[in-house]
A and B are shown apart, each in its own frame.
Chain A
Amino acid sequence: MVVLPRPLAGRGLLLLQQAPNRRVGWMRVLAACLAGIAATGLFILFIDAVSIRHMFTHASPALVAYMTMGQEAPAAGLGLFAVAALAAGAVGAGLALMPAYWRNTIFMAVLLVVGMALLSELISQVLRQILNGRPDRLLFSQGALRPAVAAIAAAAVFAWRGLVPRIRLRVRDRLPQLEPERQRQVSLAVRGAGVLLLLVLPWLVGSYLSEVLANVGLYLLMALGLNIAVGLAGLFDLGYVTNFAVGAYLMGVLTNSGPQATGEFNFWLVLPVSILAAMFTGLLLALPVIRMRGDYLAIATMGFGEIIRLLALSDWLSPLIGGSQGILFIPKPNIGAFTFQTPQHLFYIILAASLVMLVVINRLDLSLTGRRWMAIRDDETVANAIGIDTTWIKTLAFTLSAASGGLAGAIFASKLGTIFPHSFSLLISMNVLCIIIVGGMGSIRGMVLGTLVLIGVPELLREFAEFRFLLYGILLMAVAIYRPGGLMPARARHYRTEPAPQPAGGTPATSSSAASG
């Protein structure tokens, strides 16, 4: 319903612009609208008259009822539908003609209200977690958003849009005027507040959302790792699930107390071993493919990913790793007598791991190795010619990127308590790759945004879970065509070519090298 008029409106504008004069233009718009409505109407009449449900499972009487707005006679419903479509089209056209500032503001307000309505259950749950009584009654009545609340939310968006740019301007004006010492204090304070917020977050949002956050964290870990290979070094790895699987299976085999028990080691003992094992696998698999470029590398690594899954599934290795039965009874991590039992507890482990990885990746990004990776990404032949040992540097990228995957896998196994081969399908690699591409290759902020959007949001909107990968597909194509840099592209860095003037007593500037700038 809502989806339909938007393209209609867009098409209308296009027709208007292309038309020789206004009157012909409007005639064409009207004709196009009528044609669209007639086609939809015919489709509805068709699925009302002829049942094609055995083929198209969604073309059900429910869809007909929905699209004719519950009217008994299809014709009356169709009339309503046509009016609604025209109205929506007019609103869409009006929006398109509006100045960008107001359009965006209205769009944000609508998004907030629709989001609140969709997530009503979740918001109520969180509110009940924080406050006593039934605070959610203030916002929702019988699961629906109260109109007054919707109006307040929309008004809040308008106020926010008015205020934020001013605050931001003032901060931007004043911050550089402060002394460096003060600046550092401010940035430390901001970061501290952020970490503090993250620390109390699981207790604010409750168990279900913590679970979602934990999943987001695991994917963030993998995205950060794969970002080394794909984003920094430009090595298109479609088999990242391999590292995840190695980490998870090692953790599972070494700690479980089920049929595959080998020693029931402690989580903290096995964690570094899993990471090392993943790195070793990464190294082993990198060696044969190190000379491949571009799409062939992608296909070969995808082959590795599938081989690992099929081996995990096979009877051949099942005495060791359980085959299709999987590994059961993997204990939760513990420190002394304290066990990380609930999603809230586990969130802290994942948070700690993510923060460590964020710091590591950030340092790598700035390091000489990081710049060598980027040089290889931008042009391997040139990188080789200016004396970068491309073989070694690429192997390093694969190995380091595997570490994070192994870490994520190990935590995953312990968090779930059981692992099965079907958890390690190609879809994992694809999800992580989508995060990187949609978020922005090589951009750490992009990874965080991408994980929240692609993993967090679909977990919250369970009703739409079926369309998750459809959305991924559209997003991938759209990003490739319209924003090849991703939603938050990596900031281009500029390295000075002449030595920077040395401030008295300061450390030598790290930006003076021109090796790969």
Chain B
Amino acid sequence: MPDRSRFPIDDKPGPVTAANPSRVATLVHRLALDRMSWVDVVLLLIRIGFISAVVIGSTRTFMEGRFSAAQWGTLIAAGVAQGSIYSLIALGYTLVYGILRLINFAHGDVFMFGAFCTVFLAIWTSQQGILERAPAITVLSWILFAALISMSIAVLVERLAYKPLRNKPRLVMLISAIGASFFLQYTARGFFSTAFRSYPTVPGLDGRLELGQIAVPHVQITVFAVALALMAGLYILVEKTRIGRAMRAVSENMETARLMGVNIERVIMFTFGIGGALAGAAGVINGLYKPQGVSFIMGFFPGVKAFTAAVLGGIGSVPGALIGGLLLGIFEALGPNLVLTGLGIPGSNQLKDVIAFLMLVLILIFRPQGIMGEAIKEEKA
């Protein structure tokens, strides 16, 4: 952005002279239109296009009165539950990005690995009848187990794929991250084959809670509560503990933190571990929420969407990940019915993922700093 003070804007239009050709020219200058390149024009057109599509689509849906208030409520509740899963995964992205400025492409697969390994434990506990006797403790043990697995995987990935590349260009790290993602996916495939496996139904989670007209499934409430508890724990960890302070210091400025005696490598390992543990926990509650089960490619979509959530909330910001995840979940639940149906697009629920990806691209274009985040430093990649 050019420095405005060096292009003083004349507030008094004045007479039309050679130096000051017309009022139109003044207006053009005042709106900074004369410094607008054709890329700006395109971006503006895209912005106008999307805003009008959203406005037209949603007004038409409301005018037609297609859905009742209760139906909207159900959709939002589902969106919140899904969104809280995104938030948990997004935290892993955000923490790592805050410290290494690296998009940990393999994070979605860390999530997958935790969920996949734990599904065998879950099936076993269900077969042994342990799940029936003490559902709450059993589910808690699943979450712990998955967190442990994912934590180890995340630390391992950091050790093998990222540590040798410290201080190398970020794109080289991204290449390594893509490689790690492939490696994890196809290792899981080699171990567990391509089959889908489902988590057993937990007794007590199949009911619904009536909130006025809206019926919210218990599982959604559980998902939301677990995610919220984990995030509160993380918040305390980052804000109140010694290692949390070290993490914040490193993400603020790695070199200064090193000079102050912070053990950088330990902080990085810890960060990957925490992110992985949260992703593993997210894997279990995702398994409870989604009946279709887990498979070796399940990591990709949640991974990309969680990254979207992290960027939406402001990458590097912990509360941002929560807000971003919830917003993305709600948009994704409402978007197809609210906007696309109104625009007369058939089969709009198939395009749920398109909405997520579109949001990803639009946020990256128009607001890469997200809701909570600071502007991204123009570091060379």
Contacts and interface: CB of A to CB of B under 8 A. Distances in A.
Do A and B form a real pair?
Answer: yes
Given A56-B192, A310-B351, A480-B175, A470 B183 contact: yes
Interface in B156-204: 160-161, 164-165, 168, 170-176, 178-187, 189-193
A467 B42 contact: no
B128 interface: no
A307 B309 CA distance: 17
Contact of A472 (B176, B182, B365): B182
A154 to B, nearest CB: 32
B230 interface: no
Contact of B353 (A310, A472, A478, A481): A310
B96 interface: no
B213 interface: no
B351 A316 contact: yes
Contacts of B381: 236, 293-295
B15 to A, nearest CB: 37
Nearest to A319: B346
Given A307-B358, A316-B351, A295 B346 contact: no
Most buried by A among B173, B178, B187: B178
A304 B361 contact: yes
Interface string B300-324: 1000100100000000000000000
Interface in A439-494: 466-467, 469-470, 472-481, 484
A295 B100 CA distance: 13
Interface in A102-155: none
Given A57-B192, A430-B182, A294 B357 contact: no
Interface string B109-128: 00000000000100000000
Contact of B183 (A57, A58, A314, A473): A473
A299 B364 CA distance: 9
A479 B175 contact: yes
A288 B103 contact: no
B129 interface: no
Contacts of B69: none
Nearest to A52: B120
Interface in B239-268: none
Nearest to A236: B171
B344 to A, nearest CB: 10
B345 interface: yes
B43 interface: yes
Interface in A48-64: 54-58
Given A303-B357, A479-B175, A293 B346 contact: no
Contact of A474 (B46, B174, B179, B365): B179
Interface string A298-319: 1110111011001101111000
A515 interface: no
Query: Interface majority SS on A: helix, strand, loop or mixed?
Result: helix
A437 interface: yes
Nearest to A306: B357
Given A315-B350, A316-B345, A477-B160, A294 B171 contact: yes
A291 B161 CA distance: 29
A236 B174 contact: yes
Contacts of A437: 175
A310 B357 contact: yes
A361 to B, nearest CB: 21
Interface in A11-68: 54-58
A292 interface: yes
Contact of B364 (A300, A314, A469): A300
A368 interface: no
A91 interface: no
Contact of A310 (B103, B182, B186, B354): B354
A299 B46 CA distance: 19
A66 to B, nearest CB: 16
Contacts of B358: 303, 307
Contacts of A304: 357, 361
A470 B189 CA distance: 9
A299 B360 contact: yes
B195 to A, nearest CB: 8
Nearest to B117: A55
A292 B180 CA distance: 24
A316 B345 CA distance: 6
Nearest to A53: B193
B48 interface: no
B187 A470 contact: yes
A211 to B, nearest CB: 25
Most buried by A among B42, B160, B361: B361
Interface in B335-381: 345-348, 350-351, 353-354, 357-358, 360-361, 364-365, 368, 376, 378, 380-381
B193 A57 contact: yes
A237 B303 CA distance: 19
A287 interface: yes
B165 A481 contact: yes
B17 interface: no
Contacts of B378: 293
Interface string A271-292: 0000000000000000111111
A424 to B, nearest CB: 14
Given A299-B103, A300-B365, A302-B304, A477 B357 contact: no
A10 to B, nearest CB: 16
Contacts of B360: 299-300, 303
A59 to B, nearest CB: 9
Given A58-B191, A316-B346, A473-B186, A303 B361 contact: yes
A473 to B, nearest CB: 3
A410 B381 CA distance: 34
Given A57-B191, A298-B174, A303-B361, A484 B345 contact: no
B68 interface: no
B5 interface: no
Nearest to B378: A293
A307 B350 CA distance: 12
A337 to B, nearest CB: 43
Contact of B46 (A288, A316, A426): A288
B178 A476 contact: yes
A155 B307 CA distance: 55
A256 B74 CA distance: 44
Given A289-B365, A476-B176, A307 B354 contact: yes
Nearest to A238: B178
B341 to A, nearest CB: 11
Nearest to A230: B171
Given A293-B380, A306-B357, A315-B350, A430 B178 contact: yes
A264 interface: no
A259 B365 CA distance: 38
B376 to A, nearest CB: 8
Contacts of A477: 160-161, 176, 179-180, 183
B63 interface: no
A301 B293 CA distance: 29
Contact of B191 (A56, A292, A298, A479): A56
Given A295-B381, A481-B164, A476 B179 contact: yes
Given A288-B361, A303-B361, A295 B368 contact: no
B179 A295 contact: no
11 contacts: A55-B192, A57-B192, A295-B103, A299-B304, A299-B364, A307-B361, A310-B357, A311-B354, A314-B350, A476-B175, A480-B172
Given A473-B183, A479-B179, 15 more contacts: A290-B39, A292-B364, A293-B380, A294-B171, A295-B381, A307-B357, A310-B351, A311-B354, A316-B346, A433-B178, A467-B190, A472-B179, A473-B179, A477-B179, A481-B161
Q: Closest 9 CB pairs between A and B?
A: A294-B381, A476-B179, A473-B182, A473-B183, A315-B347, A477-B179, A470-B186, A480-B176, A57-B193
